[in-house]
Amino acid sequence: MISIIIPTYNERENLEELFERISRALEDRDFEIIIVDDDSPDKTWEKAEILGKIYPVRVIRRTNEKGLSSAVIRGFEEANGDIIVVMDADLQHPPEVIPKLIEAIEHGADISIASRYVKGGKAENWYWWRKVISKGAIMVGRVALPKIRNIKDPVSGFFAFKREVIENVNLNPVGFKILLEILIKGKYEKVIEIPFTFGLRKGGESKLSQKQIFNYLKHLYRLMRWEGEIDRLVKFSVVGLSGVLVNEGTLWGFVEFLGWDKRLAVLPATELSVLNNFVWNDIWTFKDLKRKALYLRLLNFHFAALTGALVQWAIYLVLLHVGLHYLVANLIGIGFSFIVRFLFNRNITWG
Ligand SMILES: Nc1nc2c(ncn2[C@@H]2O[C@H](COP(=O)(O)OP(=O)(O)OP(=O)(O)O)[C@@H](O)[C@H]2O)c(=O)[nH]1
Ligand SMILES: [Mg+2]
C-alpha cells in the first residue's frame, strides 16, 4: 500500500487533474491519497471530498493549525501505507514520476527524491534569481550539514520513503522543508535521486515568500544543533583561542629564556600552536570522526592551517586596498580564515 500525502492551501482548481493523473500513473497499484488542507478559503477540502467519491482520497481539514511541514507530518500520522510519498498539489510535481520513486524504493532505497539537480532534472522557466537563491540555499545546507553533502536536492518537496525511516523519529514542523528534517533525523541507509522537471504551477498562487529564506536558515541552525555541528564550531573556536595562548607563550619563552631571534622564533611557536590545536581537535572537537590515519589527519590539518593563513592574507590585502583600517581588515581576514579552516577540517581532515 502506498500513501500519497498532499498538503494544500487554495489549490481547488488543481485537484481534478492531479487526482486523475495520479490514478493513471498508479493504476496497477494499491494507493491512498491524503489531502491535508488548512481550511483553505477557496474550499479545497470540499472539492477534495467531492472528488473522493471517484478517487481513493481522504481529506483532513485542519482548522486550528497552519503550516506546510506540520500539515505533512499530520499526513504521516494518518498514512496506512508501507511507502509514503509527499508531493505538492499544483502539478509542479508530475504524478508520472511517482512510479519511479516507488520502484527505487522497491529496489533497495530507503528514501527516493525527485530531484531538480541531478543529471536530467531541471527547474523550468525559473527566473535566474530564483535559480541562484535555490542553488545557494542548497549549497549552504550541504556545507552546514555534512550528513547530506552528497545529496543534490535535499530540499525537494517531492519524495518517497519507507515508513520505517520515520518510525519513532521526532520530526519538528519548523520551516518549509520537511525532507531536510527527514534526511537529518530519519533512520535510513540508501538515498536515490530521480531526475525530474519542476514545471510552472498550473493554477492558484505561490505561498513562497521572502520570509521563507529566513525560516530556512533558522531550520538549518536547529538541525546543526541537533547534529552537534554547533557544538563542534564552539569547540573549534575554544581550541583556536588556546592556540593563540600557546603561540604567544612559547614565542615569549623562546625569546626571553632561550634568547632566540624574534624573527625566527615565531615559526616554531606557530608550529607548536598548530600541534596544540590538532591534538585538542583530535581528542575533543572531532573525536568521533577519526576515519583517516593519524598522519593523514595531521597532514591535512597543516594544509588547512596554511590555506586559512593564505585566505586571511589575501582578504587582508584586498580590504587594505579598498581602504579599510588594517586592524579591521585583519579581523575580517581572521573570520574568513576561521570558516575556511573549520570547513576544511570538518569535511576533509575529519571528513
Ligand atoms: N496544508 C498546507 N499546505 C500548504 C501550506 N503552504 C503551502 N502549502 C501547499 O504546499 C505545496 C507547495 O507550496 P507552493 O506554494 O506551491 O510552493 P512552491 O512550489 O515552492 O512555490 P511555487 O513554485 O510558486 O508554486 C502546495 O501544494 C501548497 O498548496 C500551508 O501552510 N498549509
Ligand atoms: Mg508550487
The lowest-confidence range among 79-88, 127-136, 198-207, 221-230 is 198-207
pLDDT at 208: 65
> Ligand 1 pocket test: which of 88, 198, 201 has the largest number of ligand atoms within 8 Å of its C-beta?
88
> Ligand 1 pocket test: which of 36, 66, 207, 216 has the largest number of ligand atoms within 8 Å of its C-beta?
207
Q: Does the predicted TM-score (pTM) go above 0.75? A: yes
Please write the tens of the pLDDT for every residue from 214-240. 899 999 999 999 999 999 999 999 999
Q: Which among 91, 113, 84, 68 is positioned nearest to 20, based on CA atoms?
A: 91
The whole-angstrom separation of Cα 176 and Cα 238 is 34
How wide is the angle at C-alpha 192 spanned by C-alphas 188 and 196, nearest 5°?
Answer: 140
Please write the tens of the pLDDT for every residue from 94-144. 999 999 999 999 999 999 999 999 999 998 888 888 889 899 999 999 999
Beta bridge partners of 35: 6, 59
Minimum-distance ligand 1 atom for the alpha carbon of 201:
25
Closest ligand to Cα 125: 1
Report how far ligand 1's centroid is from the alpha carbon of 90 (Å).
8
> Do 150 and 224 meet the contact criterion of CB atoms below 8 Å apart?
no
Residue count (the chain): 351
